[in-house]
A and B are shown apart, each in its own frame.
Chain A
Amino acid sequence: MSTTVTNVILAGLGGQGVIKASDILADAAVRAGFDVKKAEVHGMSQRGGSVTSDVRFGVKVLSPMIPRGEADFLVVLSPSEVVVTRPLLRPGGVLFAPDFVPEAELVNKRSLNVALLGALSAYLDIPERIFLEAVRAALAERLHAVNEQAFQQGRARAAKAGAAALGKRQ
């Protein structure tokens, strides 16, 4: 376990499952034994506005907010939010844009959030098994199969396109 803090920003529009995805990520990090903090502003998120959520984990996390321009990973669920949030990523950080997992390949479009978490998971120091536990814990049982599949699709894409994904580093 490294002593540095891992900084992940999840972004999208209200109703896309940004907060749900960040809850899953934070829970996975807790289950993996990290100190975790998570911050978001969700006052008006239900009205379709932009939503971002910061998840930070490591041995010890201080501020709940990721300093601007210091995110290691940026996971974006809506194409319109990519340009807006890109400056939050540090040089060399990894961007997962919404088309990283093509919508057409998903059984249910609504699991894009979990699919992108799957992609992200390939880069994190959290075992896959633990990640999946967190996915299941956060969702109703009838949604488990679809979301586990989406998670695996994202993870496989990240593994396969490892080089391509690295090429996307900012």
Chain B
Amino acid sequence: MEKRLLSGDEAVALAARDAGIALGTGYPGTPSTEILEAFGALGGRAQWAPNEKVALEVGLGAAFGGGRALVTMKHVGLNVAADPLFTAAYTGVTGALVVVTADDPGMASSQNEQDNRRYAIAAGLPMLSPADPQEAYDYFFRAVELSERWSLPVLFRMTTRVCHSKALVASRATPMTPRAPSFVRDIPGRVMVPAFARPAHRKLRAKLAEIATFGDASDLHTVTEGSRDLGIITDGVCALHAAEASPGASFFKIGLVHPLPIERLRAFAAGVKRCVVIEESDPVIAEALRAAGIAVESKPEAFRFGELDVARVRRILARDLSPEPPLPRGKPPELCAACPYHPVFAALRKLDCIVAGDIGCYTLGVMEPYRALDTCVAMGASIGVGLGLRHVLPADQARRVVSIIGDSTFIHSGVSGIMEMVYNPPELGHVVIVLDNGITAMTGQQEHPGTGRTLEHQATGKISIEGLARAMGIDTAILDPFANPAGFATLLAEKLATPRLSLIVARRPCVLAAADIRGWEKAAEATRAAQACCPGAVPEDA
């Protein structure tokens, strides 16, 4: 088989196709976004969900139905999906469910650097940790096998350097054939009322014990005999940094990071004079080994922060605690010169607003010359945070609080904030601005339910942002801030002056996406028109 240069994301997409994945769903998030895009391009059924929780639930349903499902998200997406995830560990699955979490140590484009290996422990799910694109491809099949063999969702942990590095990948000659989905009723297995959940929890723990035994003997772990003076225990891309930093050492490369092959690791550690755990982010493996009474060296605290590379691994091994040279600090990203958000930030600045912000390109409004963003915590948080501020601040400050949120983020998790606003309105009202640039721009221009086009830009049902807001009783105005900057500033000032609840949709397409959107929309319109004349049509404004 000829090898091809693929990114880890592309390798997972190819594996998903070759493994007979019936449905791939997720929500965009760097560095995971390209998986579903590539899966769709390969002919797979790939779709964006409004958020990660819904994606996981759709994947779970597909797997209850006996299908093989793939769900993708960035690390923080798993926080959103955590609720169904933990109980899906109890229900288990009938087909296969592989959940990709793409962690971002060093925060190349994220708001935190949480280590999702902790989720595997907390939820009680097996987790695979590939080191490079070839392993991402190969392990994906193992994940499907594990999932079907133990009827459990399997977590697939990638990191920025696994997702976005390219390397040569050999693919399988023969694809895996899935069973045909079919519903089999299993009420005690899938209805998690306490009476059924109690035995389900015990069953989960029993499965994990079995998987631990399986893992102890599994070739998912690779041991390389080298010097007895130094043994290195490692996982993911760190294994490659470590092999390069210390080619003569003995290695235990962990492929299945949960449950850990504790007894094999104990034997490995006992066989070397010095045993060091090389892992990125939190000392998850080191803590587990120490708790099991295995004497290992963990990295110094300084190496919990940021990603590792060969040079940092050398330092850890040399116990070198001298200050590290700073990373090159290049030019930070900024709003595009013709971005429709400029007049919005100019108005927020001019009116001296207190801005509860959110996550997207518009987070860049925090930069000079505007510095018009006062908070950014999690997707959707702008609305709740803005309301909280309004509730407690003195009137002269409360009046100036505005929540700003992007269109994709509004659909993702802003809508529940609007419900809160209607239900618990601040005394002086509140103003929400939805920055509707018609696309999920930040992550590279993905569609979402508000665009009315699917992942592959085909016409589908469309959620109206103003329709939702008006249905909840919010006074809603729509304006193109770029075409009419002065009008936008006046409108904002007016809304701030009233004690009512209001929402402004600042609508103008993203400059980077505008031409593409026009093209997709033209094709989508044609489809809608054709369907409108026939039964089973997709409604234009569903």
A4 shortest CB reach to chain B, Å: 12
Contact indicator per residue, chain B 15-54, by CB within 8 Å of chain A (1) or not (0): 0000000000000001100000000000000000000000
B394: chain A residues within 8 A (beta carbon): none
| CB <8 Å contact, A62 and B334 | no
A50, A69, A85 interface centre (most CB from chain B within 10 Å): A50
Total of A-B residue pairs, C-beta within 8 Å: 109
Complex-state Cα separation, A38 to B167, whole angstroms = 7
B237: chain A residues within 8 A (beta carbon): 63-64
A41 beta carbon closer than 8 Å to chain B: yes
| CB <8 Å contact, A62 and B244 | yes
A127 beta carbon closer than 8 Å to chain B: no
Kindly identify which residue among A13, A41, A46 contacts B108, using a CB–CB cutoff of 8 Å.
Answer: A41
Main secondary structure of the interface of A (DSSP, over half): mixed
Kindly identify which residue among B164, B168, B333 contacts A35, using a CB–CB cutoff of 8 Å.
Answer: B168
Complex-state Cα separation, A67 to B315, whole angstroms = 12
| CB <8 Å contact, B164 and A63 | no
Given A65-B241, A68-B309: A39 in contact with B328 (beta carbons within 8 A): no
| CB <8 Å contact, A64 and B165 | yes
| CB <8 Å contact, B331 and A64 | no
Kindly identify which residue among A13, A37, A63 contacts B310, using a CB–CB cutoff of 8 Å.
Answer: A63
B5: chain A residues within 8 A (beta carbon): 26-27, 30, 36, 38
A98 shortest CB reach to chain B, Å: 14
| CB <8 Å contact, B336 and A48 | yes
Complex-state Cα separation, A85 to B240, whole angstroms = 24
Q: Which residue of A lies closest to B8 (CB)?
A: A64
A-side interface size class:
35 or more
A1 shortest CB reach to chain B, Å: 16
A50, A63, A84 interface centre (most CB from chain B within 10 Å): A63
A36: chain B residues within 8 A (beta carbon): 5, 166-168
Q: Which residue of A lies closest to B441 (CB)?
A: A46
Contact indicator per residue, chain A 29-59, by CB within 8 Å of chain B (1) or not (0): 0100001111111111111111010000000
Interface residues of A in 44-98 (CB under 8 A from B): 44-50, 52, 61-65, 67-70, 80-81, 84-85, 87-88
Kindly identify which residue among B240, B311, B331, B361 contacts A81, using a CB–CB cutoff of 8 Å.
Answer: B331
| CB <8 Å contact, A67 and B309 | yes
A83 shortest CB reach to chain B, Å: 9
Q: Which residue of A lies closest to B330 (CB)?
A: A50
A44: chain B residues within 8 A (beta carbon): 109, 333, 442
B310: chain A residues within 8 A (beta carbon): 63, 65, 67
- Report 5 cross-chain contacts, Cβ distance below 8 Å, ordered by A residue: A38-B5, A47-B364, A48-B336, A63-B237, A68-B311
Complex-state Cα separation, A90 to B309, whole angstroms = 16
Q: Which residue of B lies closest to A86 (CB)?
A: B328
B535 beta carbon closer than 8 Å to chain A: no
B244: chain A residues within 8 A (beta carbon): 62-63, 67
Contact indicator per residue, chain B 101-125, by CB within 8 Å of chain A (1) or not (0): 0000000110000000000000000
A81: chain B residues within 8 A (beta carbon): 330-331
What count of chain B residues pass the 8 Å CB interface test?
38
Kindly identify which residue among B167, B328, B332, B512 contacts A88, using a CB–CB cutoff of 8 Å.
Answer: B328
Residues in chain A within 8 A of chain B (CB atoms): 11, 13-14, 26-27, 30, 35-50, 52, 61-65, 67-70, 80-81, 84-85, 87-88
| CB <8 Å contact, B309 and A49 | no
B335: chain A residues within 8 A (beta carbon): 47
Kindly identify which residue among A46, A61, A64 contacts B444, using a CB–CB cutoff of 8 Å.
Answer: A46
A39, A45, A52, A69 interface centre (most CB from chain B within 10 Å): A39
A62: chain B residues within 8 A (beta carbon): 240-241, 243-244
| CB <8 Å contact, A67 and B164 | no
Complex-state Cα separation, A36 to B132, whole angstroms = 12
A61 shortest CB reach to chain B, Å: 8
| CB <8 Å contact, B167 and A37 | yes
B399 beta carbon closer than 8 Å to chain A: no
Given A41-B108, A42-B164: A65 in contact with B333 (beta carbons within 8 A): no
| CB <8 Å contact, B132 and A64 | yes
B91 beta carbon closer than 8 Å to chain A: no
| CB <8 Å contact, B334 and A49 | yes
Complex-state Cα separation, A46 to B164, whole angstroms = 16
Kindly identify which residue among B30, B325, B328 contacts A43, using a CB–CB cutoff of 8 Å.
Answer: B30
Kindly identify which residue among A35, A45, A50, A63 contacts B241, using a CB–CB cutoff of 8 Å.
Answer: A63
A70: chain B residues within 8 A (beta carbon): 311
